[in-house]
């Protein structure tokens, strides 16, 4: 199946779920509206009156707002930012009372497979292998904890290394091996990084297995990890909810039902479980004003419509090449480590409206709901007298998320009066934070602006609400719009770039700017080397992973600027597999992420059977040229690929091996390296001139 078809199927699945939800909605919706209409006393057409009261008791416990790093490789370029910029970006994400001040960080448990925008390395590439220093998620979790010791950590697998499935692309073949693999990751987090993982997931947006969930629960308990809660199943509401209602042991094993892109609604069966309901992946929308609008609307309405007490954005930070799938679908943008340029986007400040004024453990009031002329309000309390009210008036066109489709609704300007009752009757003053997501030319956008406090007269506050606005009214006085100096200007990827991988003790397992799209490329030390290649970059997968997306049959890591046309790439290469092995360098590689299988470009291969090939695609279906090359495994060769306008030539160890005209081929794309299959292969002295 083509990746497009996979996506279409996935979207169709989500659409079906969503239609089903709509039909169930009337029941949930009317339940909720009974609560709030009681409190809405219509005065006239433009003014409405809302009561906020804890006398009838409180509603669900708020579990926090978060972001996903991974699913996949979405923080890849972040780690290579020089200081102080890298710390500044982390401050905007995690530092309390500063920016997004997130309550939750959800990370991918790297499984070696392509998971949307790249692969992330597993802690166990092979059976018996264990290494808790690969990738960047450990580092990211520690940076988050450094800033906010209370941040909750979630781990979730997307793909798994191939050995888990003993040949089948299926992680539940031997549930106890998979459970041990996951529990090892949690134990490794503690042992090597002193990180306590709070929640663990099952298999992102794929099937769950009841027996596996029970075994995972038992194994966690046996290893004194009773406090680690299970989220299931990071997919649709219904299958897991129904399974839980039919199975007491499963019901006990699962702590949180997490659904993806729920469109602010849940289903009766999920409610019947009495479990916490989360939107455990949501947002995924380009991070301009509309993305900010999407985020503002769902942060409120996931609770108002769907009783969800946590919403987690995919993704945390857009730190991947922007032409990969879902470019810039992060809470902020940091995709240029070479220039240090980054952008604090609107969703950061929309997050702050909730995160800086309510903490996990606070509870929602029962008196929340929709505003009479469109929009919504929620209120939360710490139970100690503090009150935070968040109001949003997002319009339909200006708050669409990438999915599911948003049924039409109207929002108009309105005057609202909130009456504070119960514990809140005595409050005299509320702090006010304001945002407006403007329209082109963007001169009417205001983000997280502190306005003068509102006096409460006679137990009420009145607000004039415009369109696409967010207000936070709160007793909390610690809110802050944090700022760092303006980062450097955006610049393209350097046109002259080299890496000899001579890093004795690298801080990360991956070399800067290389973004693996199938396979895993790691720094490697050749202890016995006498040929000047002691430190190299090595492709380390020898087996196809249990895939989540459509990994290629070849391995490939991309680098550079997608706009590159004329380019010369030089690299020393070393095949490790005799006869069947092969290795390549490439330019104008046009696709990556979940579309990597159909990547085109100019690929220069040498094969261990003594031949070379020039192909127009990664899959080697379009062979442009080929012939004998007197090459073999276990010897180093220097390859050069020069692409100029519509011709190209290849050099092997100083000798021109081939020259060719390029017919319809991509006009531009990244540079890349890779191997013919899941096989070891090494690279050294990589050099690009563009």
Report the interface residues with ligand NAG, using CB under 6 A.
44, 46-47, 272-274, 384-386, 415, 441, 443-444, 457-458, 475-476, 568, 607, 609, 611, 642, 644, 689
Hey, is 664 helix, strand or coil?
coil
As measured in angstroms, the least distance from the Cβ of 26 to ligand NAG is 21
Beta strands in 521-622 (DSSP E): 521-525, 535-539, 555-559, 567-575, 582-589, 600-607, 611-617
As measured in angstroms, the least distance from the Cβ of 270 to ligand NAG is 11
- 54 Cβ partners below 8 Å, 6+ apart? 365, 381, 422, 423, 424
Nearer CB in complex with ligand NAG: 16/579: 579
Between CA 416 and CA 33 the distance in angstroms is: 18
As measured in angstroms, the least distance from the Cβ of 519 to ligand NAG is 18
- 483 Cβ partners below 8 Å, 6+ apart? none
Say which DSSP state 434 is in. E
- Cross-strand partners of 60: none
Q: Which residue is it, tokens 């709030």?
A: 36
As measured in angstroms, the least distance from the Cβ of 617 to ligand NAG is 14
Please, are residues 204 and 548 in contact by the beta-carbon 8 Å criterion? yes
**Of 108, 137, 281, 510, which one is the catalytic site residue?**
281
Which pairing describes strands 387-392 and 469-474: parallel, antiparallel, or unpaired?
Answer: antiparallel
Nearer CB in complex with ligand NAG: 97/184: 97
- Number of helices followed by number of strands (H, E) in the chain: 10, 38
Which single residue brings its beta carbon nearest to ligand NAG? 385
**HSE-CB for 569 with a 13 A CA cutoff:** 29
As measured in angstroms, the least distance from the Cβ of 552 to ligand NAG is 15
**Of 108, 205, 510, 679, which one is the catalytic site residue?**
205
Nearer CB in complex with ligand NAG: 446/535: 446
What length does the chain have? 690
Concatenate the DSSP letters of all residues of 328-356 into one string.
Answer: T-SSEEEEETTTTEEE--HHHHHHHHHHT
As measured in angstroms, the least distance from the Cβ of 375 to ligand NAG is 17
Hey, is 304 helix, strand or coil?
helix
Hey, is 471 helix, strand or coil?
strand
As measured in angstroms, the least distance from the Cβ of 385 to ligand NAG is 3
Nearer CB in complex with ligand NAG: 48/279: 48
Q: Which residue is it, tokens 């080397």?
A: 529
As measured in angstroms, the least distance from the Cβ of 611 to ligand NAG is 5
Nearest to 307 by CA among 61, 68, 104, 67: 61
Nearer CB in complex with ligand NAG: 237/595: 237
- Cross-strand partners of 539: 521, 681
Burial (CB < 10 A; 0-12, 13-18, 19+), residue 265, is buried
As measured in angstroms, the least distance from the Cβ of 384 to ligand NAG is 5
Between CA 270 and CA 291 the distance in angstroms is: 28
Hey, is 194 helix, strand or coil?
coil
As measured in angstroms, the least distance from the Cβ of 382 to ligand NAG is 6
Please, are residues 155 and 200 in contact by the beta-carbon 8 Å criterion? yes
Burial (CB < 10 A; 0-12, 13-18, 19+), residue 15, is middle
As measured in angstroms, the least distance from the Cβ of 649 to ligand NAG is 7
Distance in angstroms between the alpha carbons of the first and the last residue of the chain:
35
- 466 Cβ partners below 8 Å, 6+ apart? 393, 413, 436
As measured in angstroms, the least distance from the Cβ of 619 to ligand NAG is 12
Q: What backbone phi and psi angles, to 5 degrees, belong to 26?
A: -50, -40
Between CA 190 and CA 440 the distance in angstroms is: 48
CA angle 313, 315, 318 (to 5 degrees): 140
Residue 281 is a catalytic residue: yes
What's the maximum distance between 2 C-alpha atoms anywhere in the chain? 90
Nearer CB in complex with ligand NAG: 280/475: 475
Between CA 575 and CA 560 the distance in angstroms is: 24
Residue 9: how many other CB atoms lie within 10 Å: 11
Nearer CB in complex with ligand NAG: 415/526: 415
Burial (CB < 10 A; 0-12, 13-18, 19+), residue 300, is buried
Nearer CB in complex with ligand NAG: 4/45: 45
Nearer CB in complex with ligand NAG: 23/274: 274
Residue 459: how many other CB atoms lie within 10 Å: 16
- 73 Cβ partners below 8 Å, 6+ apart? 115, 116, 117, 118, 119, 120, 320, 515, 516
Q: Tell me the Cα Rg of the chain.
A: 27
As measured in angstroms, the least distance from the Cβ of 580 to ligand NAG is 7
Between CA 557 and CA 509 the distance in angstroms is: 14
Residue 205 is a catalytic residue: yes
Residues with a known catalytic role: 205, 281
């Amino acid at each position: 199946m083509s990746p497009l078809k996979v996506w279409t199927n996935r979207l169709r699945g989500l659409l079906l779920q969503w239609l089903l939800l709509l039909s169930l909605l009337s029941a949930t919706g009317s339940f909720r509206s009974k609560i709030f209409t009681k409190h809405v006393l219509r005065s006239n057409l433009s003014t409405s009156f809302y009561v906020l009261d804890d006398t009838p008791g409180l509603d669900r416990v708020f579990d926090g707002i978060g972001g996903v790093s991974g699913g996949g490789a979405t923080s890849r370029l972040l780690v290579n930012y020089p200081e102080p910029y890298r710390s500044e970006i982390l401050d905007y994400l995690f530092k309390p009372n500063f920016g997004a001040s997130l309550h939750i960080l959800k990370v991918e448990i790297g499984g070696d497979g392509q998971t949307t925008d790249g692969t992330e390395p597993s802690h166990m590439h092979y059976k018996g292998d264990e290494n808790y220093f690969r990738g960047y998620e450990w580092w990211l979790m520690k940076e988050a904890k450094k800033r906010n010791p209370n941040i909750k950590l979630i781990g979730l697998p997307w793909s798994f290394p191939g050995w888990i499935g003993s040949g089948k692309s299926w992680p539940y073949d031997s549930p106890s091996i998979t459970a041990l693999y996951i529990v090892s990751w949690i134990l490794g987090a503690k042992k090597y990084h002193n990180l306590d993982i709070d929640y663990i997931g099952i298999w992102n947006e794929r099937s769950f297995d009841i027996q596996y969930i029970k075994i995972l629960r038992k194994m966690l308990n046996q290893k004194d990890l009773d406090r680690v809660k299970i989220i299931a199943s990071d997919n649709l509401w219904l299958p897991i909810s129904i399974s839980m209602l039919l199975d007491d042991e499963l019901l006990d094993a699962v702590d949180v039902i997490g659904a993806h892109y729920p469109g602010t609604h849940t289903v009766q069966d999920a409610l019947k479980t009495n479990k916490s309901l989360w939107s455990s992946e949501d947002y995924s929308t380009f991070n301009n004003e509309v993305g900010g609008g999407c985020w503002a609307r769902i942060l409120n309405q996931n609770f108002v419509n769907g009783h969800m007490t946590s919403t987690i954005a995919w993704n945390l930070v857009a730190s991947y090449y922007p032409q990969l799938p879902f470019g810039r679908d992060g809470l902020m943008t940091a995709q240029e480590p070479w220039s240090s340029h980054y952008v604090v986007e609107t969703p950061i400040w929309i997050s702050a409206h909730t995160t800086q004024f309510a903490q996990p453990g606070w509870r929602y009031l029962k008196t929340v709901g929709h505003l009479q002329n469109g929009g919504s309000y929620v209120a939360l309390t710490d139970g100690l007298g503090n009150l935070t009210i968040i109001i949003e008036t997002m319009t339909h066109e200006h708050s669409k998320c990438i999915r599911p489709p948003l049924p039409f609704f109207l929002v108009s300007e309105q005057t609202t009066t909130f009456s504070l009752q119960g514990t809140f009757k005595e409050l005299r003053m509320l702090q006010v934070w304001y945002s407006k997501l403007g329209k082109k030319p963007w001169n009417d956008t205001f983000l997280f602006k502190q306005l003068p406090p509102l006096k409460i007269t006679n137990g009420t506050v009145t607000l004039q609400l415009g369109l696409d606005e967010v207000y936070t009214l709160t007793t909390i006085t610690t809110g802050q719009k944090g700022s760092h100096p303006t980062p450097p200007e955006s610049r393209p990827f350097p046109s002259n770039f080299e890496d000899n991988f001579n890093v004795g003790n690298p801080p990360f397992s991956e070399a800067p700017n290389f973004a693996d799209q199938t396979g895993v490329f790691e720094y490697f030390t050749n202890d016995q080397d006498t040929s000047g290649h002691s430190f190299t970059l090595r492709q380390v997968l020898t087996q196809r992973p249990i895939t989540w997306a459509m990994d290629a049959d070849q391995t490939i890591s991309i680098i550079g600027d997608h706009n590159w046309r004329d380019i010369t790439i030089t690299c020393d290469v070393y095949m490790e597999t005799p006869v069947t092995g092969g290795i390549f360098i490439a330019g104008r590689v046009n696709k990556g992420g979940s579309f990597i299988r159909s990547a085109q470009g100019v690929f220069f291969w040498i094969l261990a059977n003594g031949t070379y090939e020039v192909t127009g695609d990664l899959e080697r279906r379009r062979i442009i040229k080929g012939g004998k090359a007197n090459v073999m495994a276990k010897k180093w060769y220097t390859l050069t690929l020069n692409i100029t306008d519509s011709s190209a030539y290849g050099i092997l160890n100083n000798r021109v091996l081939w020259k060719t005209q390029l017919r319809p081929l991509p006009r531009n794309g990244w540079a890349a390296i890779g191997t013919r299959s899941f096989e070891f292969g090494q690279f050294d002295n990589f050099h690009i001139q563009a």
